[in-house]
Amino acid sequence: MAEEAKLEVGKDLLTYAQASRHLAEAHVAQRDWSGLPIPVAGLSLVLEPRYKHKALENFRWKECYDESGARHAIPQEPPPQASEFRRVNSWWSDKYQVTVIVFHDKQGRARFSVAKEDRLSFTLRTLEAAAVWPVEAEQKAQKKLASLIPDDLFELYLLTGHFPETSKRSQVTYLFRKGRPTIALRETEECSYWLCALCLHPIGYYGDTWAGVMCPTDEVIAHLFMMRGSEEKFWANANQHPIDHPAAGV
């Protein structure tokens, strides 16, 4: 049998970022401001319940191509089996650094399990998700952010990926971070103490990562606007991670 012809990346095949760029351009032409999130093989896509393209959560890639253009099948996860247990509660244990999960069986009897997460896994999965962000989208978002904050804070953001802003209403200081949840803290004359990490993705995110479907600085801008406009809404809509939880990204 003849060998399968190999396709060329950039000519016959598109990278995640190229596909994201083309879809964004097409949807902007159709006056769809949000573009279209790109599923990433091996990562779960979690979208806002009211988002019109939420059905993309169910999309799964069945094949991929390596850098040389060779095709590879992607193993598919079997559908979840029905379980007699129902999850009823969970919480983070800072002592044991695990999430404790409580289940009830059909008779109402309680069982528990623990889930361990680590920061390195979050980091590596975030790097995988970063492949969907076109560089020019991030550059455009940074240009917009530069018009919203003082020059010295924007320079700090370029150098470190972080900048602070203190709310005049609540006196809470928010540390906005590129590609990580926003940290809320209070500062007194004696000391500063952390409140929590506020994790919020306006459209959606990739499960068990710090990556949203929007480029990182676009999400920083969203956090900044929500904090300035309504801190109550910001806190109500964000997941509030304990500062020592791996998802907090500290």
Distance, in Å, from the CA atom of 151 to the CA atom of 140, rounded to the nearest integer, reads 17
pLDDT digits (tens, 9 = 90+) for 235-244: 999 999 888 8
R_g of the chain, CA atoms, integer Å: 21
Q: CA–CA distance from 51 to each of 25, 55, 203, 248 (Å)?
A: 19, 9, 7, 25
Q: How confident is the model at residue 27, as a pLDDT?
A: 67
| Extents of the domains making up the chain | 16-73, 86-115, 119-248
pLDDT digits (tens, 9 = 90+) for 101-110: 888 888 778 8
Distance, in Å, from the CA atom of 137 to the CA atom of 141, rounded to the nearest integer, reads 6
Q: CA–CA distance from 72 to each of 10, 16, 19, 42, 63 (Å)?
A: 18, 16, 19, 14, 6
Question: Is residue 210 over pLDDT 80?
Answer: yes
